[in-house]
Structure 1
């Protein structure tokens, strides 16, 4: 969260004056980017629990008298402090401040340059997989940016038969097919079956006995939840290198946000399900390496859902566009959403996406 433009006295109480934000992102912590640590007055620090807050402070601030001592005091109080950017000329790095955050849009530090420096280190504005790999080699372990959207898809890990099974499964879900038909298709896809059984045996469902069969899994989840989780489990299929698919949290985030906004409007349960589906399916073209029009040709979706996915048209389409690009006044107005509602839907969606990530 970038607060480097100042106005901390207004922004911190607005963001952290209530427990909503930190509760929504738990157990993750919040990284706050600051340009001037002198703005962190005691009343503001009282709103920021040390065990949940990481400060990314512009290294240039160390040129100011007393700044190094102030940052060391923050570290002594239990806050984790990262230095952002290069040190000012002639200023040595304080012994207690070894973690680094860096804007990496235009390049990454040399290989292994951060491995000897106590971290974790955060690479920001990482917008390609090539840059991600450069940053990882440099020693970064935390990343932010659009690199998940640049993940290679539709490659060797997905052969034609596997892709057809995915599309067939999506079609069954869209037509409210019999659970036995879904079970039959699941049996043909070991990776998807593994993720489903892992899910129902997770702490999220707190079952007393191990779930080992498809019928049991469907019974534990319930039909509606089964449909929702399968929509997201499609993204959980392992890549060829065994790493998780980075599109999963993004799909969960969009699904949760569109569902909540529909619920806020008084949408019926079926309408909420379609809003959730729109968000969950919005990344299928990247997942499958296929044009969205080709995917939708095999999926009997309602016209307004197809219009949202293909052209970002209609209420769902405008809200999906907002979820993709982030809020500005024009997009919020077009989507019929005020800033406060957007913020609440973001908190809900992040909480949901985090739970998905922990349980899938």
Structure 2
């Protein structure tokens, strides 16, 4: 992708949109006036980088109204890749229904976002909706009479997501994707699995011998299955099927093996079950911290530690444990431990930015990042996380 040389870049935050199986189907951009990004559209789409980075996913643009889309800009928004979530309140404006009809005729998919204004009827052709469900949940079956897919966003937890699914929504976004139920449960039957997992983390952290990794992998059928599935996936495009751990370790190499295992720790579902939503989120954080470290001039070892910090930053949710109990036995470098436990130092400040939604100039300065670099790191990280989600 071509580099964006834009220091005063708008601080637009992307967010993943998933289906009921936790697979990312689109990425959302909030470009409404309340987000402070209403004027960012021409700059965001003035380069091919955005849509290239998130391919093959769709891009959902949340807008205040169709007036935000002048004709010159529309020519830069491919109808097959862009979904328009238009505030339903804009239908109170006389020209809006006609403008929305024209957008549909051009081939754009449109979601009516929010409640209709009093006395305004829904246009018959607009049969998909978006709704902020953070303040309240819709009743079951509410959307069965409308075509979709419908988008529920602002979802705080898994319970809210499941309630929206029962109401008829098929696309979901919100903090629930980083707060899923732990994959490794908390019952006594899960203690051996948890111990193996923590043991593997310790081996990775101290750069253990490949034979030690192979021995522990053989004790965990689920993680082993994911590793072999990965190395035989399209991501590696091999002509020979890999059937053994020694082959997999030799193929990946020590550095890549450690990185993939750090992410595969989150892939603890059976072959038929849904994707663990923490997996692409961990990949996103890891890739973003790594590329920011590289932009700073960090060497290969520093980049590896930055990647590890991002990959490990959701382990407390995965294992349903306190982070202090997890890192206590890993013997991590002090700055990595400080980032994971207290969000201190440069890595900690950048993790805090990722967790806090939209960034602002003061927080970026504290993290040692300019707006243009923050945007480039976001594109790079989403590109990587999308590939991880599709290949694991």
Q: TM class by shorter-chain length?
A: over 0.9
Task: Give the secondary structure class of the aligned counterpart of 1:168.
Answer: helix
Instruction: For residue 218 of structure 1, give the secondary structure of its aligned residue in structure 2.
Output: helix
Kept in 1: contact 2:222–2:270 (CA 8 A):
no
Match of 1:87 in 2: 116
Please tell me whether residue 196 in structure 1 is matched to residue 227 in structure 2: yes
The 3-state SS of whatever aligns with 1:222 is helix
Distance in 2, Cα, partners of 1:8 & 1:173? 41
Alpha-carbon distance, 1:79 to partner: 0.6
Task: Give RMSD over aligned pairs.
Answer: 1.8
* Counterpart for residue 348 of structure 1: 380
Structure 2 CA distance for aligned equivalents of residues 135 and 340 of structure 1: 36
Q: How do 1:272-351 residues align onto structure 2 when only pairs under 5 Å count?
A: 272-326=303-357, 327-351=359-383
Kindly indicate whether residue 211 of structure 2 is the aligned counterpart of residue 180 of structure 1: yes
Contact 2:364–2:371 (8 Å) recurs in 1 = yes
Q: How does 1:140-179 map to 2 (within 5 A)?
A: 140-153=169-182, 154-155=184-185, 159-179=190-210
Shift of 1:9: 8.1
Q: 1:211 Cα shift? A: 1.2
Q: Structure 2: which 5+ runs fail to align?
A: 1-28
Tell me, yes or no, if structure 1 residue 64 matches structure 2 residue 93.
yes
Aligned to 2:40: 11
2:64 paired residue number: 35
Displacement, 1:333?
1.0
CA shift in 2, pair 1:9/1:160, >3 Å: closer
User: 2 CA distance for matches of 1:240 and 1:50?
Assistant: 34
Q: Name the SS of the counterpart of 2:117 in structure 1.
A: coil
Pairwise CA distance, 1:280: 0.3
Q: How far off is 1:63 after superposition?
A: 2.2
- How far has the Cα of 1:121 moved from its partner? 0.5
Maintained 8 Å contact 1:9/1:44 = no
SS state at 1:109 partner = coil
The equivalent residue for 1:124 is: 153
Secondary structure at the counterpart of residue 159 of structure 1 = helix
- Structure of greater relative contact order (alpha carbons < 8 Å, 6+ residues apart): 2
Relative to structure 1, the CA distance from residue 329 to residue 9 in structure 2 (aligned partners, 3 Å threshold; closer, same or farther) is closer
Q: Which residue in the other structure is 2:20 paired with?
A: none
TM-score w.r.t. structure 2 length?
0.88
- Change over 3 Å in CA distance of 1:8–1:312 after alignment to 2: closer
Matches within 5 A, 1:176-255: 176-238=207-269, 242-255=273-286
2:81 maps to 1:49? no
Could you tell me which runs of 5 or more consecutive residues in structure 1 were left unpaired when the two chains were aligned. none
Find the aligned partners of 2:211 and 2:135 in 1 and give their Cα distance: 51
The structure with the largest helix share of the pair is 1
TM-score, L = length of structure 1: 0.96
In the alignment, structure 1 residue 77 sits paired with structure 2 residue 109? no
Q: For 2:114 and 2:340, locate their aligned partners in 1 and report how far apart those are by CA, in whole Å.
A: 39
Is the contact made by 1:4 and 1:33 (CA closer than 8 Å) also made in structure 2? yes
1:134 aligns with 2:166: no
Name the count of aligned residue pairs: 360
Following TM superposition, the consecutive aligned residue runs of length 4 or more in structure 1 with deviations greater than 6 angstroms are 6-9
- Alignment-derived partner of residue 270 in structure 1: 301
Compute the displacement of 1:149 (Å).
2.8
| Cα separation, 2, equivalents of 1:268 and 1:3 | 36
Structure 1 residues 252 and 316, CA gap change in structure 2 (3 angstroms): same
CA distance in 1, matches of 2:327, 2:38: 49
2:97, 2:123 within 8 Å by CA — same for their partners in 1? yes
Distance 1:218 1:338, change over 3 A: same
